[in-house]
Chains A and B, each alone.
Chain A
């Protein structure tokens, strides 16, 4: 009955490789997000999709490409991995994005990526 799930939980890979992280939510939300949390625990938004449409795209290298096949899934593909990509990546979801209402974001368990 996990609300927001991510796979894999841990990912260890070599520099230069390409890898993907998958995220799924069963909350019926229409907005999903990817966050990166660095070694100093700073959590920063990378992307957001609303009903499969990209609505937030922060200053992220274009080696990172999100893909949303449907509103319950948001995957993150990373090309040519670099040492600096090592971090914990969190997926999150919320119901809606605007309208003046408060849209709480619920986080997945995270994927710890280690680039060697």
Chain B
């Protein structure tokens, strides 16, 4: 079983819709969870992080964490074509601030 799993996609949503990206992780001791966005040919950039169960909202983005189910998700409201990118879920596991990444979900927002 992979440590951090994401559906590779592509996930296609129409402009203005809600995009829902999901991530599961295997290490129950994981404490912090990150969502990065990566445009083609660019470096990953942080969207948001979450470490408490429940929802965390930042603008059009909402991260949801359920530690009992070992599940973290990212909702993007009012999706825009500029949101088209690969979204990487990362889990803070172990010491040394080690991040374990999922393989990413490619999101396509269509006009």
Is B a genuine binding partner of A? yes
Instruction: Tell me the A residues contacting B by CB distance below 8 Å.
Output: 31, 40-45, 48, 50, 55-56, 90, 94, 96-98, 100, 102-110
| Cβ contact of B98, chosen from A43, A56, A104, A107, cutoff 8 A | A56
Interface membership of chain B positions 45-59, coded 1 if the CB is closer than 8 angstroms to chain A and 0 otherwise: 110010100000000
With A102-B32, A107-B43 known as contacts, the answer to whether A97 contacts B49 (CB < 8 A) is: no
Beyond A44-B101, A56-B96, A108-B43, list 15 extra A-B contacts (CB 8 Å): A41-B104, A42-B103, A45-B100, A48-B97, A50-B96, A56-B98, A90-B43, A102-B32, A102-B49, A103-B97, A105-B46, A105-B97, A107-B43, A109-B43, A110-B43
Residues in B with CB closer than 8 Å to A106 are 46
| B42 contacts A by Cβ under 8 Å | yes
CB of B43 within 8 A of CB of A48, answer no
| B34 contacts A by Cβ under 8 Å | yes
How far is A1 from B3 in the complex, measured between Cα atoms in Å? 36
CB of B96 within 8 A of CB of A90, answer no
Residues in A with CB closer than 8 Å to B98 are 45, 48, 56
Residues in A with CB closer than 8 Å to B101 are 42-44
Interface membership of chain B positions 91-111, coded 1 if the CB is closer than 8 angstroms to chain A and 0 otherwise: 010011111110110000000
| B64 contacts A by Cβ under 8 Å | no
Instruction: Give B44's nearest chain A residue, CB to CB.
Output: A107
Q: How far is the CB of B90 from chain A (nearest CB, A)?
A: 8
| Cβ contact of A40, chosen from B38, B51, B97, B103, cutoff 8 A | B103
CB of A96 within 8 A of CB of B97, answer yes
- 9 A-B residue pairs with Cβ-Cβ distance under 8 Å, sorted by A, are A41-B86, A43-B104, A45-B98, A48-B97, A48-B98, A94-B97, A103-B97, A104-B49, A105-B99
